Structure 1
Amino acid sequence: MNNILQVKHLKETYKDKKQEFQALDDVSFTIDQGEILALLGPNGAGKTTIVSIIGGYLIPTSGHVILNGQDITTARKRPNIGVSFGGDLGFYRNATAKQNLQFFADLAKVPFRKQNKEIERVLSIVDLLNVANKKVGEFSKGMTQRLHIARSLLNNPNLLLLDEPTSGLDVEIAQSVQKTIKNLSDSGISILLTSHTMSEVEKLAKRIVILGAGKVFFTGTINAVFGLAEKEINQKPKNLEEAYLALAPKLRRK
Structure 2
Amino acid sequence: MPDQAAVVRDLAFSYRNQPVLDGIDLALARAETVALLGPNGAGKTSLMRLLAGRLVPSRGSVRVAGGDPAREAAVRRAIAWVPQEIALYPRLTVRENLEVFARLMGLNRAARGPAVARALGRAGLEEVASRLVGVLSGGYQRRANIAAALLAEPALVLLDEPTQGVDQAARAAIHGVLERLPEAGAAVLIATHDFAEAERLADRVVLLQGGSLRLDGRLSDLLAGLRAGPPEHEVALAEAAGPAASAALRQAGFHPASPLMWRAGHAMAGGRDGAALLAHLRRHGVPVREIRVREPGLDVLYRDVTAEEPPAGPARLPAGVPA
TM > 0.5 fold call: yes
User: Greater RCO between the two (CA within 8 Å, min separation 6)?
Assistant: 1
Q: Does structure 1 retain, via aligned residues, the 8 Å contact 2:161–2:190?
A: yes
Q: Does structure 1 retain, via aligned residues, the 8 Å contact 2:138–2:166?
A: yes
Shift of 1:228: 7.7
Q: What residue in structure 1 maps to residue 153 of structure 2?
A: 156
Shift of 1:247: 2.2
Q: What residue in structure 1 maps to residue 77 of structure 2?
A: 79
Aligned ranges 1:33-182 → 2 under 5 Å: 33-77=30-74, 78-87=76-85, 89-182=86-179
User: Which of 206, 212, 217 is the equivalent residue of 1:215?
Assistant: 212
Question: What is the rounded CA distance, in whole Å, between the counterparts of 2:39 and 2:73 in structure 1?
Answer: 29
Pair 141,76 (structure 1): closer, same or farther in 2 beyond 3 Å:
same
Amino acid across the alignment from 1:156: E
Q: Deviation per CA, 1:213-254: give whole Å up to 9, x if none.
A: 000111112355454897xx6679611112212222237737
Question: What is the rounded CA distance, in whole Å, between the counterparts of 1:57 and 1:143 in structure 2?
Answer: 26
Amino acid across the alignment from 2:13: E
Q: Secondary structure at the match of 1:149?
A: helix
Is 1:250 equivalent to 2:251 in the alignment?
Answer: no
Q: What residue in structure 2 maps to residue 239 of structure 1?
A: 297
Pair 160,251 (structure 1): closer, same or farther in 2 beyond 3 Å:
farther
Q: Secondary structure at the match of 1:37?
A: strand
Q: Deviation per CA, 1:145-203: give whole Å up to 9, x if none.
A: 11011011111112111111111112221111111111111332210111100011011
Q: Secondary structure at the match of 1:48?
A: helix
Q: What residue in structure 2 maps to residue 11 of structure 1?
A: 12
Q: Which sections of structure 1, spanning at least 5 residues, go unmatched?
A: none
Q: Does structure 2 retain, via aligned residues, the 8 Å contact 1:217–1:251?
A: no
Task: Give identity over the alignment, percent.
Answer: 30
Shift of 1:37: 0.8
Q: Which sections of structure 2, spanning at least 5 residues, go unmatched?
A: 230-264, 268-293, 317-323
Question: What is the rounded CA distance, in whole Å, between the counterparts of 1:204 and 1:54 in structure 2?
Answer: 20
Q: Does structure 1 retain, via aligned residues, the 8 Å contact 2:204–2:217?
A: yes
TM value normalised by structure 1: 0.89
Amino acid across the alignment from 2:194: T
Which range is displaced more, 235-244 or 48-57? Answer: 235-244
Shift of 1:49: 0.4
Q: Does structure 2 retain, via aligned residues, the 8 Å contact 1:211–1:251?
A: no
Question: What is the rounded CA distance, in whole Å, between the counterparts of 1:46 and 1:218 in structure 2?
Answer: 14
Question: What is the rounded CA distance, in whole Å, between the counterparts of 1:237 and 1:22 in structure 2?
Answer: 38
Pair 39,251 (structure 1): closer, same or farther in 2 beyond 3 Å:
farther
Shift of 1:132: 1.3
Q: Secondary structure at the match of 1:209?
A: strand
Q: Does structure 1 retain, via aligned residues, the 8 Å contact 2:8–2:63?
A: yes
Pair 248,118 (structure 1): closer, same or farther in 2 beyond 3 Å:
same
Pair 223,119 (structure 1): closer, same or farther in 2 beyond 3 Å:
closer
Q: Deviation per CA, 1:75-113: give whole Å up to 9, x if none.
A: 2441111111143x3111111111112221121111123
Q: Secondary structure at the match of 1:70?
A: coil
